[in-house]
Each structure stands twice: as C-alpha cells, then as structure tokens.
Structure 1
Amino acid sequence: MNTKILVVEDQFIEADNLRSILRKGGYLVCKIARSVPEALQIIESEKPNLVLLDIYLKGELTGIDLAKILRDQQIAFVYLSANSNKQILDAAKATKPYGFLVKPFREKDVLVMLDVAWYLHRQNLGLSGSGKSGPGSQPAHDIKEIIGSSKSMNEVLNEVKIVGTSDISVLILGESGTGKELIAQNIHYISARKNKPFVAVNCAALPANLIESELFGHEKGAFTGAIDKRIGKFEQANEGTVFLDEIGELPLELQVKLLRVLQEKEIEPIGGRKKKVDVRIIAATNRDLEEEIAAGRFRLDLYYRINIFPITLPPLRERKEDIALLADHFVRIYARKENKIITEIADHVIQTLQNYDWPGNIRQLENIIARSVLLNNGPILEFLKLPGQNKSNVTLPETRIKSMTENERDHILLVLGQCNWRIYGQGGAAELLELNPSTLNSRMKKLGIEKKYFKHDSN
C-alpha cells in the first residue's frame, strides 16, 4: 500500500477515529496535524497523496485556506465538516474538493470516498487507475440510450462510468427534464446490483400522508384504512437500487427516517418491526439543497450522506450541439410508433430547434418532436411549431414548387419504405412502381437513395 494520507483535524476524538478507520482500510496515515502551519510542515516532509481536511481549524488559517494551497500543489483533498453555514459551504466548494465527509464518520463512507477521490485525482492528472494502491484500470461500460456528444455530456458519462462500479450514494442535480432518471438507471445497470430491482419514487408526487407507507410499508390494521399489508419501496428494492426523484420535496420527518436507512441499513414499516434492507440510494433534485439547508427545510446530515458523489446535468440550452442528435433520435422513435417513413429533418427545422431556449429541456423537445411527427407528411420532417407560435409563424419551408427530380426521389423513398426496402419479387418496389428492377436501382443511385435512410427500420 503506497497511498499516504494526512489528516488535518484539531479534535482529538475525531482524528483518532479517522486514524483507526484508515489503518483498518489499509491506508498509511503519515501524520495527524492540528493546524494549518503544522500541516504545511508535514506536507513538506512527508509528501502525502491525499489530505482529509477539517474546514474549521483553530488559529488564523482555516481549512479553506489550506485547501487553496493543496489545490495549487495538485494534492487531492476531501473536506471534513458538520457545519450548515451556506456561505462557508460555498467557499469550500469553490476550492474544488473531491468530496465532503460528515461527522461522525462511518467506516464505509470514508473508505469509499477515498477510493473515488483518489481515482478522480489521478484522472485529472492524466494518469490511469484508481483505488487505494494506485494503478488499476476501470472497466469500460456501454452507456445505453444517453444521446449526446457535447463536452458537458461526455463529462457526465465519464462520471457515470466511474461511480457505476461503486456502491456509494449518488446525488443527481439538474433542471426538470434533463434526464436525471435515465442517468440513475444507467448507474444501476452498470453496477453489481444490475440484476436486482431498480425502484423509482417521485417524492413530489406522493401525498404527504402516504409517503411513509409508500417508502417503508405498513402492516395490516396499522391505521384506519390499512386493510392489507403493504410492502414499501425500500423492501421491494432490497439488494437493488432506490431512485428518489425530487428528494428536496421530502418532509423533514421523513428525512430522519431516510437517514436511518442510510446509516443503519434498516427500515421500520408503520405498525411493524424494524427490518434490515440492503439498497443503494440514488437521489435527484432540481432544487438548490444548500439553500434548503440554510432555510431549515433539508437536513445537513442527510445532504452529506446522499451527496458523496454529485453529478450535475447540463440544461439543453447549454448543450445545443446535441439537439440535432436528440431530435433525430426522437423522430425515429415516433415515426415508428406512428407507422410513418421519415428519413431526415429539414435544415430549417434543425436551425429553429437550435435557436430555441428549451425551458423544459429534453422532455419538452421530445414532446414537440412527437407532435411534429404526427402532423408531418412525407419522408422529410418539415413542420414544427414551438410554444408561443401561432399559425402565422409556424416554422415551414419557404413556399416553392418541388422539381420533378425531388418529387421522384420522395415517391421512390415512400414506396421503398412500404416494401421494407424490398426491390425484387412480387410486392416489391419495382413491381409497385412498374419499373424493371435494374432501372429502379439505376434511378436510386442517380438520386442518391441509400440504405442509410432506413436505419431506424433495420432493427
């Protein structure tokens, strides 16, 4: 084991607890520092690979001051804290730590956080490998159904691959409609739990008086109307993953019970006895949880438990280079559903999509494409109506008469689609068009008609 850890903590009990956890996990604890000056001396002499750093330290210099020095020296660090002051948390986040650990520490959380921090740090330095002992490549995984090639989405996919092979809690942040549940599903399906249940819960959609029963279950007769026993979502997801969408909507009294699940791995159904459960929690929200903490609406200790590995999804307006790919993806889906042949999207439609601000993000784009496909006629998607538009400004191509060549191409494409691209034999395109097959092939070549136009029918 060659990963050396420096613990910077001025509380003796906390520092000793951390040293015990780290040694048990196989790490080399080079020293315990009680202040920033002492830490700087140890860094100079011991050259630690990673620092566990308390935000609050006695003396003139704080943990945040030391963090700025560590960042300049390219030394990885993770904050230790139990403070809920938003201003201080914002200042700490600005130093770009590899994570936060909340006091008191759980052994598993500490060790997993260090694995993740060490891997991400080596990735940032352009090195391969992860884990406590350095080298050890991460396996490659295919991320299904996530459309996008922009820089921001590639960063998200890389984070999904990293955390997918772990078992730590994940917090997915982003506006409504950015695809948070899809990201959660992919994390689950590349994890060791992939063959176990993935149970999604929309916390915002549950009536306040039913949330506890929905999450943890109840026994028959536990309350008026409980005529049958109910198995809660956490028990349904045992050995799998629970996705808590819009966790910021969860009432404070339920946050306490959720914290128990994370800490003790147990639930207590209404009217029943405590039960052990083994679930991974992935949470998502479009709220600023730090503002919710400052307002007293969200628990700091729960925030730290679910925020071990945050992933932030960019809004669609910040990844406009992906809009054409997403539009094409949705056109294929809804053309198949509506039994239509649509081979391409007109350039003016793509331009209109890219110029729009998309307040509803990907979900809004999907709904508009679905409507446009339904209203479209012909193999090219030329009709598009965005919110706020009226009949006078519906996006349509400039009015013009198509050439004979364009009409011929469109007609051949339509017939080929109806024949599933079968040219020869009875019921083939050549027979329906009353052409010799060789003549049809010649016309297709001249018109630039290739199999690629029907790639959405190839599966």
Structure 2
Amino acid sequence: MSARILIIDDEIKLTRSLAFALRQAGYECLESHGGAVGHKLALKEKPDLVLLDVRMPGVSGIEVLRSLKAELPALPVIVMSALDATQDAVKAVKLGAVDYLGKPFDMDDLLALIETTLSETATLHEQQFFNERRVEDASLLGNSPPMRQLREQVGRAAETGVPCILLQGEIGVGKAVVARDFHLRASGAEAPFVEINCATQSGAQIEAALFGEGGDLPRRGLVEAADGGTLFLHEIEALGPTAQARIMAFLDSGTIRLETGAVLAPSLSLVVASNKDLQACVAAGTFRSDLYLRLAMFPLLMAPLRDRLEDVELLCQSFARDLARTTGQKPVRFSKSALKRLSAYDWPGNVRELKNMVERLTILRPGALIEDTALPDEIQRQHLRSPETIEDKVRSIERDLVLEALQKARGRKGVAADHLGISRHALKRKMQRLDLS
C-alpha cells in the first residue's frame, strides 16, 4: 500500500504540480489550500506525511504544525518555506517538523527527503510496537503449552487482583521475569517494584531490610517502600522464623508496626519465589505451614527450558536482538544446524544459560551467522535427539494434562487427581514417572 501525503499550501499551482509529481512517484496525495482546512483534513484522513507551507494567510503553517504535534504527535511534517522565511522554518523544526526545504527546491531532493522520512518513521513505529509488546509480555516468550498457560495464569492473577503469588521452578527459569510481568499488568510501570533475595542476608539483616529499623539512622523497610506496587521476595524458603512470623502477621492484618510504635498499612502485591519444594520445607519444620498455605493461594509452576524446547529458537532471536541493541553491536543469527543443536540440548541452566550463551556470542562474533561448530562445547557434545516417537508424544500430552490439572487445582494434588479422574496415589506415581516434582 502506497503512502499518503497531504500537501497544505495556499499556492494552488504549486500544490497541484507537487501532487502530480508525487503521484507519478507512486504516492497517494491529498491537497489543501489553507491552514484551517488542511488541519481538519489531517485529523480526518491521518496521512502518512504532511508537506506544510510555513507562511499562509489566516492560519499559518506554524499554528497548524503546533496543533498537529499536539493531536497527532507521530505524524511526520516537512515544512516548505520561501528564502525569506528561513527563520520561520527553523522555528518549525524546533516545534517538531522533521525537516524543511527552501522554495524553490529540486523535486529529486524532495523525493529523497520524503523517502528517508517515511523509512525512518516506519522503523520508529516498529520499534515502538516491539517496546509495547515487551512491556506487555515482559519477555514471557514462547508458543509451547507451558508458556501459553503461564501467560494466561499471570494475566488472570493481575486482572483479579490476587494479593499473593507463589512462583516455583528451577534456578534460571525466569521467575524474576514473571514477577515483573505480573507487576506491570497489575500495578503499572510507574508503581514501585521492590525485590530482595532472602538468601543473601542473615535473619536479623533480612528482617531489618523488610520492616525497617530505628536508631540514630532509621531506615525504611522494603514492605513500606513497595506501597502501591509489588514486593518480590526471591528464595522465600531462606527466611528465618522471626521474619516468617512477621510476614504472616502482615498478611493477616495488612499492617506493620514500626520500632517507633507507628502502624502502617501498605497496599501491595506480594510475589514470592522458591527453587525448593516448600511443602518439603514445611514437612522438615523449616517453613511455617500457615505461611505456606497463605503464599500458595495462587501457585505458578514454571517449566524448565528442557520441557519447552520448541521455544528455544524464538528466545534466541529475541535475546540476540535485545543484546545487540544494548551493546551497540549487530545481532547474531543462527543457522538451521545450530538451531537444531540448541533445540536438542537439555539446558541445565534454563533460560539464563541460553541468554548468557547469546550474550557471549554477541560480544565475540557480532553480526555473524552462528553455525553449530561455533556453539559451546557442552552443546556440541550432546547427541542430537532422535525423532520423537509415539511414546514420546503420548508422554508429552500426559505431562501437559497433569500440569494443567495441577495449575487449575492451585497445586493441591487431591483436587488435581479428582480433575483427572484418578486417585491421589495414582497421581503421585504418575508425577514421579513424568519427572514432575
């Protein structure tokens, strides 16, 4: 589809000759011979580009430009000016015009400027769309059943306003990415997102970090700092007994008591993550059962990358594009043989390992086509998997059904067993056989 260009100029002969030349060059043209009429036409038709004369009787080009930039900020405008109106043209550029041409001008120069402007605008729109999708999806990429289900669950949690989410999965599966995605959906990018790894500090330190401390140098706690947004606690299983008790008290009452005696009632969403089986921690006596039950109100089990290998190619492309932009390099590309190798690897470090590999290749071989021989040794050493058998497909379908039942049952095995029409013991044996902890 050819681009549409609106010409706003009070010189009728010039407007018509410009329109004729632009149509010959393959563009669609709209014409207006006054500022007020041209402004209305632009709002109605929303052209791809505007050629605007600076000096016109009545409503001037400067006034038209100012209004267009307020109402259609993404619309590119090229101003045209007589030689004695150069100062006005410079003012127009400061107001948002992409460039200006002095009359009389060469038609080839105008066509080149139009082509460049439209190309840059299209690139900008693509980048804006990509950024918007990134904000919406927060890199939760993948078309595999586990990822589609995860996106659905996160969206449902954000829409319904659940107060707490429990993220479970192996190290490197992307729990922090999911936490931030939930935050963006539930609270928005402007709200505070506060995170801390509970395993990096001692019991007293983590308690002070969460709830603040008084003394000569009082410090505000992270629970208070997350008011209006999201508090994300990594490795929740590492919390000591006192911190667990205070978290439980906050979830029960919605308030925290400071050392000064003041009582605060921060409104926030709590997202917690664990690399371990919290039920096993409860059984071992290292984690409070009542706190686990409260945290597990909305559990999300994140599949390891080896269980969604069909997402590897999409992840590689996304990471290559992002890392190239960050480092100022050209993105690496992957040959079919390389992608075949990558899609056969077990990825013990999960998505984090994949991202690290793409980052290393981006630094060492920017813009290169990566063949399988350039992949890390551990990936090259792994034998390519044989074609999927009927047994493999049945196992995959069975695994997806069990995962779906567990998600719907929010991790409660008895309820999930009822959904599947089997006993709880049969479900446990099935989970062991399918390597589902």
TM class, shorter-length? 0.5 to 0.7
Alignment of 1:175-214 (within 5 A): 175-192=170-187, 195-214=190-209
**What is the DSSP-based 3-state SS (H/G/I as helix, E as strand, rest coil) of the residue aligned with 2:173?**
coil
Amino acid paired to 1:191: A
Say if 1:323 and 1:353, in contact at 8 Å, map to a contact too.
yes
Partner of residue 380, structure 1: 369
Partner of residue 425, structure 2: none
Aligned partners of 2:240, 2:143: CA distance in 1, in Å?
38
Displacement of 1:350 after TM fit?
1.0
Identity across the alignment (%): 32
- Distance of aligned partners of 1:352 and 1:333 in 2 relative to their CA distance in 1, 3 Å threshold: same
**What is the DSSP-based 3-state SS (H/G/I as helix, E as strand, rest coil) of the residue aligned with 2:348?**
coil
1:165 counterpart (147, 154, 159): 159
Displacement of 1:239 after TM fit?
2.0
Unaligned runs of 5+ in 1: 1-140, 222-227, 396-459
Partner of residue 151, structure 1: 145
**What is the DSSP-based 3-state SS (H/G/I as helix, E as strand, rest coil) of the residue aligned with 2:160?**
coil
Say if 2:173 and 2:350, in contact at 8 Å, map to a contact too.
yes
Aligned partners of 2:382, 2:280: CA distance in 1, in Å?
41
Amino acid paired to 2:302: L
Say if 1:342 and 1:380, in contact at 8 Å, map to a contact too.
no
Displacement of 1:144 after TM fit?
3.2
Say if 1:193 and 1:239, in contact at 8 Å, map to a contact too.
no
Amino acid paired to 1:369: V
Partner of residue 344, structure 2: 355
Aligned partners of 2:200, 2:228: CA distance in 1, in Å?
25
- The total of aligned residue pairs comes to 247
Partner of residue 213, structure 2: 218
2:236 counterpart (243, 247, 250): 247
Alignment of 1:444-455 (within 5 A): none
Aligned partners of 2:349, 2:332: CA distance in 1, in Å?
26
Amino acid paired to 1:348: S
Aligned partners of 1:310, 1:275: CA distance in 2, in Å?
27
Say if 1:216 and 1:270, in contact at 8 Å, map to a contact too.
no
Partner of residue 427, structure 2: none
Alignment of 1:250-265 (within 5 A): 250-265=239-254
Displacement of 1:355 after TM fit?
1.7
1:319 counterpart (308, 321, 332): 308
Say if 1:177 and 1:362, in contact at 8 Å, map to a contact too.
yes
Unaligned runs of 5+ in 2: 1-134, 384-437
- Distance of aligned partners of 1:327 and 1:282 in 2 relative to their CA distance in 1, 3 Å threshold: same
Displacement of 1:378 after TM fit?
4.9
Say if 1:167 and 1:191, in contact at 8 Å, map to a contact too.
yes
Say if 1:165 and 1:192, in contact at 8 Å, map to a contact too.
no
**What is the DSSP-based 3-state SS (H/G/I as helix, E as strand, rest coil) of the residue aligned with 1:165?**
helix
Displacement of 1:347 after TM fit?
1.6
Partner of residue 290, structure 1: 279
Displacement of 1:187 after TM fit?
1.2
**What is the DSSP-based 3-state SS (H/G/I as helix, E as strand, rest coil) of the residue aligned with 1:298?**
coil
Aligned partners of 1:359, 1:245: CA distance in 2, in Å?
20
Displacement of 1:265 after TM fit?
1.1
Amino acid paired to 2:376: L
Displacement of 1:270 after TM fit?
4.2
Aligned partners of 1:307, 1:153: CA distance in 2, in Å?
20
Say if 2:138 and 2:177, in contact at 8 Å, map to a contact too.
no
Say if 2:332 and 2:361, in contact at 8 Å, map to a contact too.
no
Displacement of 1:167 after TM fit?
2.4
Amino acid paired to 2:288: R
Cα-to-partner distance string for 1:217-274 (whole Å, 9 max, x where unaligned): 01124xxxxxx11011001011221111111111122100000110111123346543
Displacement of 1:336 after TM fit?
2.9
Alignment of 1:404-415 (within 5 A): none
Say if 1:265 and 1:277, in contact at 8 Å, map to a contact too.
yes
Partner of residue 333, structure 1: 322
Displacement of 1:334 after TM fit?
2.2
Aligned partners of 1:384, 1:310: CA distance in 2, in Å?
39
- Distance of aligned partners of 1:387 and 1:276 in 2 relative to their CA distance in 1, 3 Å threshold: farther
- Distance of aligned partners of 1:389 and 1:357 in 2 relative to their CA distance in 1, 3 Å threshold: closer
**What is the DSSP-based 3-state SS (H/G/I as helix, E as strand, rest coil) of the residue aligned with 2:343?**
helix
**What is the DSSP-based 3-state SS (H/G/I as helix, E as strand, rest coil) of the residue aligned with 1:214?**
helix
Note the aligned Cα RMSD (angstroms). Answer: 2.4
Say if 1:213 and 1:269, in contact at 8 Å, map to a contact too.
no
Output the TM-score relative to the length of structure 2.
0.53
Alignment of 1:52-67 (within 5 A): none
Displacement of 1:388 after TM fit?
4.4
Cα-to-partner distance string for 1:114-134 (whole Å, 9 max, x where unaligned): xxxxxxxxxxxxxxxxxxxxx
**What is the DSSP-based 3-state SS (H/G/I as helix, E as strand, rest coil) of the residue aligned with 2:204?**
coil
Say if 1:215 and 1:233, in contact at 8 Å, map to a contact too.
yes
- Distance of aligned partners of 1:162 and 1:389 in 2 relative to their CA distance in 1, 3 Å threshold: closer
Aligned partners of 2:295, 2:377: CA distance in 1, in Å?
36
- Distance of aligned partners of 1:346 and 1:180 in 2 relative to their CA distance in 1, 3 Å threshold: same
Aligned partners of 2:327, 2:267: CA distance in 1, in Å?
42
Aligned partners of 2:367, 2:298: CA distance in 1, in Å?
47
Partner of residue 174, structure 1: 169
- Distance of aligned partners of 1:312 and 1:186 in 2 relative to their CA distance in 1, 3 Å threshold: same
Displacement of 1:359 after TM fit?
1.0
- Distance of aligned partners of 1:193 and 1:278 in 2 relative to their CA distance in 1, 3 Å threshold: farther
Output the TM-score relative to the length of structure 1.
0.50
Cα-to-partner distance string for 1:318-363 (whole Å, 9 max, x where unaligned): 0000001111111112223343334631122212211211111001
Amino acid paired to 2:151: L
Displacement of 1:211 after TM fit?
0.7
Aligned partners of 1:238, 1:336: CA distance in 2, in Å?
33
Aligned partners of 1:284, 1:322: CA distance in 2, in Å?
23
1:281 counterpart (265, 270, 283): 270
- Mean Cα displacement is larger for which, 350-359 or 270-279? 270-279
